[in-house]
Amino acid sequence: MRLRARHYASGQAIEVICAEGRILSIGPPTGEPATHQADWIAPAFFDLQINGCGGHSFNSPQLTVDQVRHVVAVCREHGIAALCPTLVTNSFESLRHGFATLREACVARELDRALPAFHLEGPYISSEDGPRGAHPREFVRKPNWDEFRKLQDAAGGRIRLVTLAPELDGALVFIEQLVASGVVVALGHTAATARDIAAAVAAGARLSTHLGNGSHALLPRHENYLWEQLAADALTASIISDGHHLPPAVIRCLVRAKTSNRIILTCDASSLAGLPPGRYREWDQEFEVQAGGKVTVAGTPYLAGSGVFLDTCVSNVLRHADVSLVEAVDMAGARPRALLGLPVRSLEAGTPADLVLFDWQPGGELHVKHTLTSD
């Protein structure tokens, strides 16, 4: 396979030859016909928070392997070669079914690299309106190590990221247990105090999940959990730059404060991502997809995941955060992989051919032309 585009970091026109899932060579363009070509070529994206798409939810108690395959296929159309399927606050039975189904999907060789890690977001989160977001209150509960171990067993040991609220009873011990077992701990959907956050960081927490969202609508202007997490150098922050979760000025401030080395882009795609505007029902709740991909709990201002994908998020951070193309691409690939201890993909001969070709001009939208995977 012969790929032709400009290198995302150097801007030089290159030709990439791939075969059997690996990059064989990189050199100047030749006169040979290209299999695929575009403005730019880069390592493919990795999203650590995908809940589903196209009407299929990883949280469904009826989740099937075919539905998992469908979500992976749609994500690849948007440059996402691999992802963390994310299960949110739910009953133990539903969570166990979801993780067991994802594990089954990974047994198939074509999905093992596409789903290298799973994300458990909740159920150990704040029950308060605002911080809880769209998570169902009835399933919110305190951290339970025995329950988590059963979920990890169902997942085949693939849960590598857990988002929780550190102010809950038993949370600090739970964080220490997770870290000792090799799981990355993220703070999110929390009403934590400064002391709670500092203690969680000391216990080993490393990420703020979708910082700026999953919070109260009104906060004290100085002493609040957003400033505390933003100021904590030990915490990387994921942000949802989908055009709805965060205003442009907030995106710019978050990136400037954390720097691109400690920002991870996620689309937080919901099961409704990619569907036309309208009202849909899940978890015995009504959700609304608005024009432009905004997804809310119907009749409320609360966002319920995103209706777009990571290519849109990369476009927006390029437009609003004054970052380079290489910084934006790395926030959507290298940073989340490194956080989870996964091999970071690079555009070099001999490496796995997980690549995305896309068209993009400064100030414009990023359009994925082709995603190549090493599966």
Count of C-beta atoms within a 10 Å radius of residue 275: 17
What pLDDT, on a 0 to 100 scale, did the predictor assign at position 299?
87
Q: What is the pLDDT of residues 334-371, one digit of tens each?
A: 999 999 999 999 999 999 999 999 999 999 999 999 99
Q: What is the pLDDT of residue 291?
A: 86
Q: What is the DSSP letter of 220?
A: -
**Does residue 308 have a pLDDT over 80?**
yes
What mean pLDDT do residues 297-323 have?
93
pLDDT at 109: 65
79: left (phi over 0), alpha (psi -120 to 50) or beta: left
Q: Bigger pLDDT: 291 or 77?
A: 77
d(CA 190, CA 111): 33
Residue type, 168: L
CA nearest 307: which of 279, 346, 272? 272
| Measured distance CA(327)–CA(127) in Å, rounded | 36
At 17, the pLDDT band (50, 70, 90 cuts) reads very high
Q: What amino acid occupies position 268?
A: D
Strands 52-53, 13-19: pairing is unpaired
**CA separation for the pair 161, 215 (Å, rounded):** 20
Q: Which domains does the chain have, with CATH numbers?
A: 1-43+345-375 (2.30.40.10), 45-343 (3.20.20.140)
Single-letter amino acid code for the residue at 207: L
Percent of the chain with pLDDT over 90: 93
Specify the pLDDT at position 305: 85
Tens of pLDDT, residue by residue over 164-215, are 999 999 999 999 999 999 999 999 999 999 999 999 999 999 999 999 999 9
C-beta atoms surrounding 69 within 10 Å: 16
Distance CA 126, CA 332 (A): 28
Angle, vertex CA 68, rays to CA 298 and CA 91, nearest 5: 55
- Write down the pTM of the prediction: 0.96
* pLDDT per residue as tens digits for the range 48-107: 999 999 999 999 999 999 999 999 999 999 999 999 999 999 999 999 999 999 999 998
